[in-house]
């Protein structure tokens, strides 16, 4: 027999002066292969059309349906109800501006982060559309691709204790982006340039190493390795600044 699941969903509309933050309960019969994305759509279509949440691709690619599921950040489209208990608690991702209910504005946060770390290939070479494309070593290209799989869902920021205590902390996603450009041979920045961006308490030296980011990453990006890589490179750069000529 299928289960009757109880959903406790956070409800609050910041633009409605009469709205009060709280949890609202819904009940839905579980069906085979049901995931939270489908369940939320059914609840909105059948029981309450005012429920706010974000979605786009339904395939774990866009990252729009990130939310806190039973206390753990994750993607609704990648979460099957069969893996959850009879009672399901759904909350918006912390650390981002609340739009309403389960919907948060991750776009503004990630735009500001990418601008702060200057998240693009830096080169003096002028683009020539007629020039033949330069091939990259496959091993390097695979490493870059591994880090470029980030979908900017915000789960790592929501799971980061430092990011929840400090709004200026860049988070693991920024360190992953920096590591991606460090290994890109087309980017002409040196470690001194990267140090100016992430060699601070707002960057890599603000990380407490709890690795909640890696635990919840829906794409299983090796964030632990990237944090260690950036910390090691920036640590050597900091030592050179403190002890010039000796490090």
* SS3 state at 89: strand
Looking only at the bridges linking them, the beta strands covering 87-91 and 4-11 are parallel
Q: Indicate if the pLDDT at residue 247 is higher than 70.
A: no
pTM assigned to the model: 0.90
Question: Which residues, other chains included, contact 242 with Cβ-Cβ below 8 Å and sequence gap of 6+?
Answer: none
Question: In angstroms, rounded to a whole number, what is the distance separating the alpha carbons of residues 134 and 186?
Answer: 10
Q: Indicate if the pLDDT at residue 159 is higher than 80.
A: yes
Write down the pLDDT at residue 237. 86
Torsion angle of the four alpha carbons 112, 115, 117, 121, in this order, in degrees rounded to the nearest 10: 150
Whether domain 4-104 has CATH 3.10.20.30 = yes
Quote the tokens at residue 234: 């920036």
Looking only at the bridges linking them, the beta strands covering 66-69 and 72-75 are antiparallel
Write down the pLDDT at residue 243. 73
Write down the pLDDT at residue 246. 57
Q: Indicate if the pLDDT at residue 137 is higher than 90.
A: yes
Confidence of residue 219 (pLDDT cuts 50, 70, 90): very high
Which residue intervals of 97-190 are DSSP H helices? 106-116, 138-148, 155-158, 161-165, 171-182
- Assigned CATH for 117-242: 1.10.1060.10
Q: Indicate if the pLDDT at residue 38 is higher than 60.
A: yes
Q: Indicate if the pLDDT at residue 180 is higher than 60.
A: yes
Confidence of residue 128 (pLDDT cuts 50, 70, 90): confident
| Domain locations along the chain | 4-104, 117-242
Q: Indicate if the pLDDT at residue 30 is higher than 70.
A: yes
């Amino acid at each position: 027999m299928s289960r009757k699941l109880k959903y406790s969903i956070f409800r609050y509309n910041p633009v409605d002066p009469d709205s009060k933050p709280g949890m609202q309960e819904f009940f839905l019969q579980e069906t085979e292969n049901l995931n939270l994305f489908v369940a939320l759509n059914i609840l909105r279509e059948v029981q309450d059309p005012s429920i706010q949440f974000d979605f786009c691709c339904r395939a774990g690619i866009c990252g729009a349906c990130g939310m806190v599921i039973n206390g753990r950040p994750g993607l609704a489209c990648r979460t099957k109800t069969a893996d959850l208990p009879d009672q399901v608690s759904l909350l918006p991702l912390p650390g981002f501006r609340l739009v309403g209910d389960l919907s948060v504005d991750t776009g503004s946060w990630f735009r500001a982060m990418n601008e702060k770390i200057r998240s693009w290939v830096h080169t003096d070479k002028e683009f020539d559309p007629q020039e033949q494309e330069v091939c990259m070593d496959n091993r390097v290209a695979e490493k870059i691709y591994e880090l470029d799989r980030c979908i900017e869902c915000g789960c790592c920021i929501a799971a980061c204790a430092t990011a929840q205590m400090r709004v200026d902390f860049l988070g693991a996603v920024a360190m992953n982006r920096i590591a991606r450009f460090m290994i890109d041979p087309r980017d002409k920045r040196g470690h001194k340039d990267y140090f100016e961006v992430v060699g601070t308490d707002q960057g890599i030296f603000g990380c407490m190493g709890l690795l909640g980011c890696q635990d919840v990453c829906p794409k299983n990006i090796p964030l632990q390795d990237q944090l260690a890589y950036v910390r090691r490179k920036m640590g050597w750069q900091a030592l050179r600044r403190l002890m010039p000529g000796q490090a």
